[in-house]
Amino acid sequence: MPINLPSNQIKLTNVSIVRYKKGGKRFEIACYKNKVQEWRTGVETNLDDVMQIENIFVNVSKGELAKHQDLQKSFGTTETDVIVKEILKKGELQVGEKERDHDLSSIRREIATLVAEKCVDPSTQRPYPVGIIEKALTEAGFSVRPGKNAKSQVGECIKLLQTDSTLPIQRARMRVKVGVNVEEGEVRSKLVEKVLAGAEKVENEEKTAASWEAVMLIDPGQFRIINDLLQKECKGRGRLETMSFAATASS
């Protein structure tokens, strides 16, 4: 809905309102859509490109400007740029109902996409289409948590699908070959123990006096962990190779 300012009839469309309470008063600023987050992450640094109108309001929707004495009392200054920067940094971004619904729908779609990338149909060992995952989420009664990003909700979502939906679903596992060229000893034993801790299944293991090698199934999230471990402790004498993805039943 356009926001009308009766004093000068300026119409603010696609407005993002940032609200901040200080000194017992409420203050609002009108910003361009999506620019608030860009400012907070440092992508945008020009206030003129963030602000739709260079005023500080008590209520943007009604066009009610904040009084100078209230600004001075609450912020210790009436300098607009100083106050705006504090509101941008500390204020709460107001999101309309339609925008909130759109955001939740986008996160839900992103979650379904991530689940489709990580899981498979156990009978075919192929990933499900995203649309099938979305229907299963509805069946399982999954609700997006607005305060969390999509990636952080995937694990919980997969567990819910496995327990509360009729969709047969299993995590896809990565088959890797790990090699350590370190002579037998306490150092190698501890390193091998750490590597095996990241495996869900060891398919093959070979040992010699000078090396150790294994083919394992791991969660894809373990790949970076094992790789970092080898780089840190093997000093060029370790290797990690991706062989394939395989469907295995989750424990």
Query: What integer is the mean pLDDT of 36-40?
Result: 87
Amino acid identity of residue 239, one-letter, is R
pLDDT value for 5: 44
17-33 confidence digits (pLDDT tens): 899 999 899 999 999 87
- Between 153 and 237, residue with greater pLDDT: 153
Enter the tokens of residue 108: 């839900």
Q: How confident is the model at residue 226 (pLDDT cuts 50, 70, 90)?
A: very high
pLDDT of residue 246: 55
Last residue of a domain, one of 53, 77, 94: 94
The pLDDT confidence band at residue 13, using thresholds 50, 70 and 90, is: low
In this prediction, residues 190-199 reach a mean pLDDT of 90
The total of structural domains in the chain comes to 3
Does residue 17 fall inside a structural domain?
Answer: yes
Q: Which domain holds residue 30?
A: 12-94
State yes or no: pLDDT of 250 exceeds 60.
Answer: no
Question: Is 6 inside a domain boundary?
Answer: no
Predicted local confidence at residue 9, as pLDDT: 41
Clarify whether residues 25 and 79 are in a common domain: yes
On the question of pLDDT at 82 being above 90, the answer is: yes
Task: Based on the fold, state whether residues 107 and 40 are members of the same structural domain.
Answer: no
With CA atoms as reference, report the closest residue to 28 among 80, 2, 65, 3: 65
Q: pTM of the predicted model, to two decimals?
A: 0.50
Tokens of 171: 């995590």
Convert the pLDDT of each residue in 47-80 to its tens digit.
Answer: 999 999 889 999 998 889 999 999 999 999 999 9
CATH code for position 22:
3.30.1250.10
Distance CA 50, CA 190 (A): 54
Same domain flag for 19 and 89: yes
Among candidate residues 48, 65, 94, the one where a domain is terminated? 94
Poorest-confidence range of 2-6, 93-97, 122-126, 187-191?
2-6
Final residue belonging to a domain, choices 153, 168, 183 = 168
Of 69, 49, 73, 62, give the one whose Cα is nearest residue 4: 62
**pLDDT at 215 > cutoff 90:** yes
97-148 pLDDT, tens per residue? 666 777 788 899 999 999 998 898 988 878 899 999 999 999 999 999 877 8
Classify the C-alpha dihedral 55-58-59-62 as positive or negative: negative
